[in-house]
Amino acid sequence: MKKAFPLSKVYGLLEPGPVVLVTTAHKGRTNIMTLSWLTMMDFEPPRIGMVLSERNYSFAALKATRQCVINIPTVELAAKVVAVGNSSGRRVDKFAAFGLTPCPAREVEPPLIEECYASLECRVTDARMARQYNFFVLEVLKAWIDPARKHPRTLHHQGKGRFVVDGRTIALPSGKK
Ligand SMILES: Cc1cc2nc3c(=O)[nH]c(=O)nc-3n(C[C@H](O)[C@H](O)[C@H](O)COP(=O)(O)O)c2cc1C
């Protein structure tokens, strides 16, 4: 028998993922934020929808520059992912504070994060829903992965400090995509 579940906790059932570290660059300052509310929208060029709250320092940077890098960390970086998500670039240089290494991107101003398994250089193609929903549509211009990492175990946020860590991969014959 199912029982009623609080609406405030529904987001944790539809666990999104992976948790990413979004870098921005604005007015000579680079910044990082943790973000889990992402969705794929198209194959190629890859299109991504992202919810980034206007309360975050990163919001103004993304809105003004229309550029970011989506960096995908693995479980080894879990403590830093949480620390980045619990501090603001208004007050802290998060690269220095959390020992993360910026490296230049090819197509955009914000840096890649060296320690992350993959990095996606993105531009905002549609910000019309940013005002009402904090929703940005991004196109990936350039993608990078670390080929040495054969089994990257990404983090998936369930809310309130709980994460699911990627486990076994299975391949099914009907898996079209
Ligand atoms: C695990 C985790 C997931 C988060 N997901 C999001 C998200 O999807 N969207 C968002 O706007 N903020 C999200 N946050 C909150 C921001 O990372 C946080 O407010 C951060 O301090 C913003 O940094 P900034 O002020 O330097 O931009 C998340 C935080 C954590 C710890």
If the chain, 177 residues long, is cut into consecutive pieces of 10 residues, what is the mean pLDDT of each piece? 92 86 97 97 96 98 98 98 98 98 98 98 98 98 94 93 90 77
Ligand 1 center–CA 127 separation, angstroms? 19
| Cα-to-centroid distance, 57 and ligand 1 (Å) | 10
Q: Model's pTM, two decimal places?
A: 0.96
Residue 69: name the closest of 27, 21, 114 by CA. Answer: 21
The Å distance, Cα 174 to ligand 1 centre, comes to: 36
> pLDDT at position 74, please?
97
The one-character DSSP state at 111 is P
Residue 4 CA to residue 26 CA, distance in Å, equals 45
Q: Is 89 helix (H, G, I), strand (E, B) or coil?
A: coil
Of all protein residues, the one whose alpha carbon is nearest to atom 31 of ligand 1 is 85
- Confidence (pLDDT) at 17: 77
Containing 72, the helix (H) or strand (E) segment is strand 67-72
Per-residue confidence (pLDDT) for residue 176, from 0 to 100: 67
User: Which residues form the pocket of ligand 1, taking CB atoms under 6 Å from any ligand atom?
Assistant: 19, 31, 33-37, 51-53, 56-58, 82, 85-90, 157
141 residue type, one letter: L
Distance 33 CA to ligand 1 centre (A): 6
pLDDT in the model for residue 135? 98
